[in-house]
Amino acid sequence: MNDRQYGIVIVEDDFRIADIHKAFIEQSDGFCVLGVARNAAEARALIATCAEAVDLVLLDAYLPDVEGLELLWAIRQRHTRVDIVMITAAREMDTIAEALRGGVFDYLIKPVEAARMTQMLSRFRRERGALAQQGEMSQEELDRVLARQQPDPIAPMTGSSGLPKGIDRLTLDRVIDVLTEKNAAQTAMQVARSLGASRSTARRYLEFMVAEKRVDAELGYGDVGRPERRYRLIEPR
């Protein structure tokens, strides 16, 4: 088992977003926040001060004292063992392409859903843990470690040999936990609030579970009188 704590530096000029990311990371097993930088100058100083402890930098593309991805390349040149994840509102293809050429571990577009952040952190732990082992890897083992575009390996649900695109195990387990804890029929919006995700994400997972016969869906009426689907976990027989 990999029990190491990975050190993260957050580079984000919006203190509210930085606080959200910090709180989320501090609740994630295997990670600790070494510090938060509001601009490139603070980031350079912070990373230099705790260089040996930094494993991952969460980097915004828009900072008040640099243009574009200048800081990305500066970190790449001076701290080769540090991985970088872009967490930014930048959607322009030239920015994304440059970040990918710069070897970013991942690229997350704001606002980032909790499930997507969890997926990134889990993959980081898995890859770092695998690459820290001694010995050699076969091509098959390496392909499995670096399968970045595929969902994490999971045990199939009853009636299905696997999960479709857009459904990952971590979020699916969290949806099941929410339905179990509430012990009552929930709307997609209620589940979304408990997950910290969007309504469309919650509904996608709930409808998948309905198709898998793990959840019952029934029509109910909300405060404004509109019928809405409510979902209840089916008790195993």
- CA 145 centroid distance within chain: 17
Q: How high is the pLDDT of residue 221?
A: 59
Q: Which CATH code is given to the segment(s) 6-131?
A: 3.40.50.2300
- pTM recorded for the entire structure: 0.62
CATH of domain 169-233: 1.10.10.10
The rounded mean pLDDT for the chain is 84
Q: Where are the domains of the chain?
A: 6-131, 169-233
* Confidence class for position 72, pLDDT limits 50, 70, 90: very high
Task: Give pLDDT tens digits for 100-122.
Answer: 999 999 999 988 888 888 889 98
**Which residues are bridge partners to 37 per DSSP?**
11
Lowest mean pLDDT among 140-149, 151-160, 164-173, 187-196: 151-160
Q: Is the dihedral of CA 145, 148, 153, 154 positive or negative?
A: positive
Helix boundaries (H) for the chain: 15-26, 40-49, 70-78, 93-101, 114-131, 139-145, 169-182, 188-195, 199-211
Looking at per-residue confidence, does 221 or 144 come out higher?
144
Do residues 51 and 43 touch, judged by C-beta distance below 8 A? no
Residues 150-170 have pLDDT tens digits of 444 434 443 343 677 778 888
Residue 4: phi, psi to the nearest 5? Answer: -70, 145
Residue 77's CB is within 10 A of a number of other CB atoms, namely 8
Using pLDDT thresholds of 50, 70 and 90, give the confidence band for residue 223.
Answer: low
